[in-house]
Structure 1
Amino acid sequence: MPRIPSRLIPVLIVLAGALFYFPFLGRVHLFDWDEINFAESAREMIVTGNYTRVQINFQPFWEKPPLFFWLQVLAMKAFGINEFAARFPNAVIGIVTLLVLYSIGKKIVDERFGLLWALAYFGSLTPHLYFKSGIIDPTFNLFIFLSVWLMAGAVSAYGTPKATRLAAFSGLFVGLAVLTKGPVGGLLLGLTFLVYWGIQRFRPILSFLNGLLFFGCGLAVASVWFGLELIKNGFWFFEEFFRYQIRLFSTPDAGHQQPFYYHFVVVLLGCFPMSLLAIRGFFADTAGARSDSQSERAVRAVSFRRWMIILFWVVMILFSIVKTKIVHYSSMAWFPVSYLAATVLYGYLNGYLKWNRWLTIGIGIIGGVLAVLIAALPLIGMHTADLIPYIKDRFAAANLTAPVEWQGWEWAIGTVYGLLILGLLWLRQKRPVGSMVTLFLSTPVLLWFVLPAIVPKIERYTQGAVIDFYEAKQGQDIYIEPIGYKSYAHLFYFRKPPPTNPKSYSEEWLINGPVDKPAFFVTRNINLDQYKYNPNLEIISEDNGFVFLRRKPAFK
């Protein structure tokens, strides 16, 4: 890799992160469910002035603690209540994450390894994309990773004053993780620690006092919110909160029940290209073993590699057991995957490791499939009328009738990406460093074009009509609700005010009761049969699979 002055590397990382993470954050509407759900909770904090209680639809929201919503609130205070503000915190977290990986990699091995680690994370598909999203996990994952890194350091420094400091900071970041996403923050570190301890045959690796300090710091940070809620509202809130956490682990959420191997496929395909390199990283510690075999640094690198492998398996097995399976549930595994990929890159570029032809095949296949899909999306969009007769799902078929204007060149984005992948594989032997660096830069460049040119058009098919409807109703004194399916879009894009009539939470009352102002409803064409014969409801329009109904007030 080209020699870059050390003092400039953090600056370049910040500039690269700013160039790729911030543009187009507000180019497309928030997506149902999670992005809109979380942004709506932040909006309702601002509307109500209650920053301690997490709400959705102005009712207690049991699923998540408030830290990420606080970050979104700060962004909304600065930039307004919009998509850019909702996604802004993760873009900042993305830059911080790259700096953290570079810094830790530099300490564990050397500066080159730190750069490769940051590059692997920056240049892989879903890890890069999620820093441009408005979901909780990128922030949560950073806190968990830092707690694992610090705990690994505390264990390595067992019996020294340094271990005390590291254990305290590990507890601090676990507390922040718990404040971000709940008890799973402590669970991931706890299970990783227990497995590592078991591999060490349960010999002492952390002093009792340091363990107490870890728990004390974690509890103190988490109590910033949990303790306040306990004092204000008693145990009922916690009963509901923990009951939801248990239900999430033990029962499948609607539409999110997947096979056991689901997350392994998600990581393999979603973390392209680092996932393919990481597979080989499970079998060879090319970075730690070659950094300096006699140094304390090498010992620390070998130990940390073990922590990373354990963390990977803890995440993958735990969330494969969990009944509800969503892509980002296993996203904590992206950190160990990126580490293992960096070890392979480091060994290959330093001549310690020979290239495996299976890597060439894997990169060619997955990269080629990704290129074909991205090239095909615009072509499908430009020929939807020809496809609709073959689609059996009436709602999906109607979605494709949305008036979306394609420019006609968008297919070239995926085509150029595919040709670039093939070219890099061909040049790999002649220019190993340049080809690998370009491979990991090509995905961010791909997304930089895809997000403004293709994603907004895809969003028009999936939810454009319904969000237009909600935005057109902003400021009107009406009720507005989706019926027959679950959505949060009406809350955020209608800018729903706090309800003044508690009966309005009842769908039965809104449809059949004595409503006191006009009520509007949105359903899907496949759900319409259960509503279209109701004499209280009038169909006012149908647009791209969504059906819009109105009910006039009972006494007006």
Structure 2
Amino acid sequence: MIQLTQKYPKITILIVALFVFMLHLDVLYANIMEARNFVTAREMLSDGNWLLTTMDGLPRYEKPPLPTWFAAIFGSVFGIENIAALRFPSALITVVLLFFMYTLSRKLTNHKLQSLITALILATSFYIIFAGRNGTWDIFAHSFMLGGIYYLYQFFETEKQIYKNAIFAGVFVGLSFMSKGPVSHFALLLPFLIAYGVIYRFKGFKSRWLPLVLLLFITIVLSGWWAYYIYLLDSDDATRIALKETDSWKHRNVKPFYYYWSFFTQSGLWTIPAFISLLYPYLKSKVSNLKAYQFAIIWTFASVILLSFIPEKKSRYLLPVLIPLAFTISFYINYLFNHFKSLKSRWETVPVYFNFGLIGVIGISFPIVGYIFLKERLDGYYLYFICTSISLVLIGGYIIKSLIKKEISRVFFSSIFFIMAIITFGFPLANTFLDNPTRKSLTLIEEEEQITGRKVYNLNGLAPELIWDYGKTTTHIKLPGGKTKLPTEKSFGVLTRFNDLGHLKSTFPNHEIIFKDRYDYNVADSTKRGNKSRLKADYYWLDKKE
């Protein structure tokens, strides 16, 4: 089996991607970022807002529309409520990311096995899995950018097809901007250019200035046309939203400069190998291609440092760092493939035994530990639990056995199978934690509206998840810019944020207010930390006093 994976690397990558990114896409409810994307996609289909994009009927220009177009297209074919279909474009573009990573690594190292290792590490890194299974913008921006980087590398390094490489580089870099603005340009492209300039130098540009101009022209046109379009047709909202976004980057979620310096932990399974791969003094004399390793490690650190300068910081913003980090880790794993059997120093062997031994132990102990935690929740999920237990025990035992024999290649590929088994059999077990007895969907409001004849209004903006759950655009009372549009009916219904009765009373002092119901999108009950007030909405009847 292992020999086959090495012999057919592209097929191996495709199979791994199928199991890791494309199975059980409908298990989890939409998160806040997905909800924003899916609501905008729904309104593209229902209202035709493909260019002047909206969320709940209001201008939504914070993100360029390319990923949302993909979601809308798949939603139009398979149903806009089919959450697996809406997430499927993210899974597809992640496959593109993996193949670009493989081909770029091949160009840099001329080593098929190490390139396969790079792609598989990337495919099984924690935040890559998270982003590739979620219908958000980030994975599109970085996948397209890596495509642009691949063709840019070709543009720099080869004398053949210079114009073709320039055109493709410009297209992919432009598509990255159309996915999430300049985020990937700053976090992935600029660090690549720094690393390339330091290690490989920029040479031969006298013969490339004209195709470089073409590359820049394509990039600028693709990147800027939508922003220019919305500015021409809706300059007030475009300006307001741009100022709001700029202010958020400066003042929201502000963290210290060193906040990202545990970045290697975001690779999940590869945390310890990631840390060791970054120890340049230790690894520099052991890697098979020092120049490529130097390039990878500079690319990684440059990305982290540049992101650290931005005041607003979130763990998920480290997603682009995992791309060069996977390449960096591959040098260490490749070294272990070739030399682990001959290693004598405990300083070198103990981290390997600990990292992969822990994976093996988790696999072997899963049936007991899993049952202790899930026994009261397993009704209806026993088949998934049994399949997960059997597969993880077998894989975990094989990892331990291979570690004892110092067969690191078997340990590595078994670790990949470990992740595949968790997604294939274990991911549906996430539903066992859906234990909120007060969970109530806002889709019931439509039936209420039809029965009572009361039109329903949205007082002050609801969480994106609630808008997605509602199923259609709400009618707003409070509008952007502090404007208010009061209902003209004498009797109507109003949805408010959780426990916001005071705001409702101040807005309607001449109305009788009757509490009718509470709607709750939370999957965890109110005793748990994951229960959020913003995922609740209160529903009132209002009748004008005579």
Query: 1:445 offset after TM fit, Å?
Result: 1.4
- Asked if residue 358 in structure 1 is aligned to residue 334 in structure 2, the reply is no
Alpha-carbon contact 2:94-2:143 (below 8 Å) kept: no
Alpha-carbon contact 2:516-2:539 (below 8 Å) kept: yes
Q: Which residue of 2 aligns with 1:519?
A: 493
Question: More displaced, 353-362 or 175-184?
Answer: 353-362
In structure 1, give the amino acid aligned to 2:352: L
Query: 1:238 offset after TM fit, Å?
Result: 4.9
Alpha-carbon contact 1:109-1:288 (below 8 Å) kept: no
Aligned length: 510
Q: Which residue of 1 aligns with 2:127?
A: 126
Q: Which residue of 2 aligns with 1:155?
A: 156
Q: Deviations over 1:298-346 (max 9, x none)?
A: 6xxx555444333322332233333333332110111112112222222
Residue ranges of structure 2 left out of the alignment (5+ in a row): 507-511, 527-535
Query: 1:349 offset after TM fit, Å?
Result: 1.5
- Asked if residue 340 in structure 1 is aligned to residue 316 in structure 2, the reply is no
- Distance verdict in 2 for CA 1:305–1:495, change over 3 Å: same
Counterpart Cα distance in 2 of 1:205 and 1:519: 69
- Distance verdict in 2 for CA 1:224–1:280, change over 3 Å: same
Counterpart Cα distance in 2 of 1:327 and 1:141: 16
Counterpart Cα distance in 1 of 2:312 and 2:365: 30
Query: 1:177 offset after TM fit, Å?
Result: 0.7
- Distance verdict in 2 for CA 1:73–1:304, change over 3 Å: farther
Alpha-carbon contact 2:155-2:162 (below 8 Å) kept: yes
- Asked if residue 424 in structure 1 is aligned to residue 368 in structure 2, the reply is no
In structure 1, give the amino acid aligned to 2:444: A
- Asked if residue 271 in structure 1 is aligned to residue 267 in structure 2, the reply is yes
Counterpart Cα distance in 2 of 1:289 and 1:5: 23
Query: 1:92 offset after TM fit, Å?
Result: 1.2
- Asked if residue 538 in structure 1 is aligned to residue 515 in structure 2, the reply is yes
- Distance verdict in 2 for CA 1:310–1:213, change over 3 Å: farther
Question: More displaced, 312-321 or 169-178?
Answer: 312-321
Q: Which residue of 2 aligns with 1:247?
A: 247
In structure 2, give the amino acid aligned to 1:41: T
TM-score normalised to the size of structure 2?
A: 0.78
Counterpart Cα distance in 2 of 1:370 and 1:130: 24
Q: Deviations over 1:231-270 (max 9, x none)?
A: 544x545534542442232111xxx4555444444x4333
The within-5 A match list for 1:137-216 is: 137-157=138-158, 160=159, 162-189=161-188, 191-192=190-191, 195-196=194-195, 199=198, 206-207=205-206, 208-216=209-217
SS at match of 2:4: coil
In structure 2, give the amino acid aligned to 1:135: T
- Distance verdict in 2 for CA 1:511–1:368, change over 3 Å: farther
Counterpart Cα distance in 1 of 2:473 and 2:135: 22
- Asked if residue 225 in structure 1 is aligned to residue 200 in structure 2, the reply is no
Counterpart Cα distance in 2 of 1:241 and 1:523: 23
Query: 1:424 offset after TM fit, Å?
Result: 1.8
- Distance verdict in 2 for CA 1:89–1:112, change over 3 Å: same
- Aligned-residue RMSD, C-alpha: 4.2
Query: 1:539 offset after TM fit, Å?
Result: 4.7
Q: Which residue of 2 aligns with 1:449?
A: 425
Q: Which residue of 2 aligns with 1:96?
A: 96
Q: Which residue of 2 aligns with 1:61?
A: 60
- Distance verdict in 2 for CA 1:381–1:8, change over 3 Å: closer
Q: Deviations over 1:137-170 (max 9, x none)?
A: 111111122222333333334xx35455434322
Query: 1:75 offset after TM fit, Å?
Result: 0.7
Alpha-carbon contact 1:372-1:415 (below 8 Å) kept: no
Q: Which residue of 2 aligns with 1:106?
A: 106
Q: Which residue of 1 aligns with 2:533?
A: none
Counterpart Cα distance in 2 of 1:529 and 1:237: 29
- Give identity over the alignment, percent: 16
In structure 1, give the amino acid aligned to 2:115: G
Query: 1:49 offset after TM fit, Å?
Result: 0.8
